[in-house]
Amino acid sequence: MAMLINGLPGEVVSALDRGFNYGDGVFRTLRLRGGRPWMWRWQYARLADDAARLRLEAPDEQLLLDELMALGREHESAVAKIVLTRGAGARGYAMSAARAPTRIVSVSPWQGYPQEYGEQGVTARWCELRLSIQPALAGVKHLNRLENVLARSEWDDPAIQEGLLLDQDGWLVEGTMSNVYLLRGRQLLTPRLDRNGVNGAVRDWLTDNVADFGLEFIEMRLSAADLIDADAAFLSNSLMGIWPLARLGERVWTPSPLLQALRQALLQQA
């Protein structure tokens, strides 16, 4: 792994950093193809939006792009992570105690997921953990991901690729590492993220582009029963792209040509 901390090679941050102590920061994980970040337009927009939600100043876009490309230029395929924290500060929760922000950019070689996940679909399960409700952080990819960690610890069966999460009120929110979508006729439905969950870059891309496929993008409250009754379902994140959902418990779906068309269009993005 190659890493830059505030633009300098290294792997050490201060033990006083608020990202370490309080999860006070945001991050993005993204794919590099030929040394260039995939879907950069949507990735940077999400990072900047999340930073603003926490009253953090987002790094200059060109600066981040230069750092990613410098670290990734030797790899045909790699995974990158950008972490932005409020920086080191004195004890206590007050934001005013922080000094300069901490910016961490890292890149590792990566061979990707098995191709059949995108072509044939994946198997998911329901998680027992229920997501908490906190509108102030809804949609933000902040550094406190303990709910996801605990949910992912619920299974170790390699035949299951993802776990799906409901909130305290029983509404479908997301997967442990993905956004979730349902197809119902010509409607593409996805859970509203106004109370919890993470808004992903691929989700933003779908918001901008599904009309080209004759689909209406709708955010709404969705139940487990809505998912089971869907004509088709799929998952997304910035590494997997789009994975059709093939099996959830006893429910089985056949990947549709429409999902494959969406997947291929996404893969063609710069």
Residues 132 and 225 in one domain: yes
CA 157: distance to chain centroid?
A: 22
Residues 259 and 150 in one domain: yes
Label the pairing between strands 2-5 and 8-9: antiparallel
Please say whether the beta carbons of 5 and 102 come within 8 A. Answer: yes
Inter-helix orientation angle 61-72/40-53, to 10°? 130
| Token pair listed for 122 | 């994946």
Q: HEC states along 104-157?
A: EEEEEECCCCCHHHHHHCEEEEEEEEEECCCHHHCECCECCCHHHHHHHCCCCC
Length of the chain (residues) = 270
Please say whether the beta carbons of 181 and 233 come within 8 A. Answer: yes
Per the structure, the count of domains in the chain is 2
Residues 171 and 86 in one domain: no
Residues 47 and 181 in one domain: no
What is the pLDDT at residue 89?
Answer: 85
Label the pairing between strands 77-85 and 25-33: antiparallel
Residues 93 and 144 in one domain: no
Residues 174 and 242 in one domain: yes
What is the pLDDT at residue 196?
Answer: 98
Boundary (domain end) residue, out of 64, 79, 109: 109
Residues 97 and 121 in one domain: no
Residues 105 and 119 in one domain: no
Residues 128 and 36 in one domain: no
- Written as tens digits, the pLDDT of the chain (270 aa) is 899 999 999 999 999 999 999 999 999 999 999 999 999 999 999 999 999 999 999 999 999 999 999 999 989 999 999 999 999 988 888 887 667 899 999 999 998 999 999 999 999 999 999 999 999 999 999 999 999 999 999 999 999 999 999 999 999 999 999 999 999 999 999 999 999 999 999 999 999 999 999 999 999 999 999 999 999 999 999 999 999 999 999 999 998 899 999 999 999 998
Residues 85 and 150 in one domain: no
Q: Give me the long-range contacts of 247-252 (CB less than 8 A, separation at least 24).
A: 247/121, 247/122, 247/123, 247/124, 248/123, 248/124, 248/125, 248/126, 248/164, 249/125, 249/126
Boundary (domain end) residue, out of 90, 109, 128: 109
CATH assignment of the domain containing 63:
3.30.470.10
Residues 6+ apart with CB under 8 A from 81: 27, 28, 29, 30, 104, 105, 106, 107
Residue 201 region by backbone torsions, left for phi larger than 0, else alpha for psi between -120 and 50, else beta: alpha
What is the pLDDT at residue 97?
Answer: 65
CB neighbour burial string for 12-25, b if at least 16 within 10 angstroms, e if fewer = ebeeebbbbbeebb
Nearest Cα to Cα of residue 185 among 223, 225, 220, 213:
213
Which residue type sits at 147? E
CATH assignment of the domain containing 200:
3.20.10.10
What is the pLDDT at residue 98?
Answer: 65
Residues 100 and 129 in one domain: no
Boundary (domain end) residue, out of 109, 131, 146: 109
Domain enclosing residue 185, as ranges: 115-268
Residues 16 and 138 in one domain: no
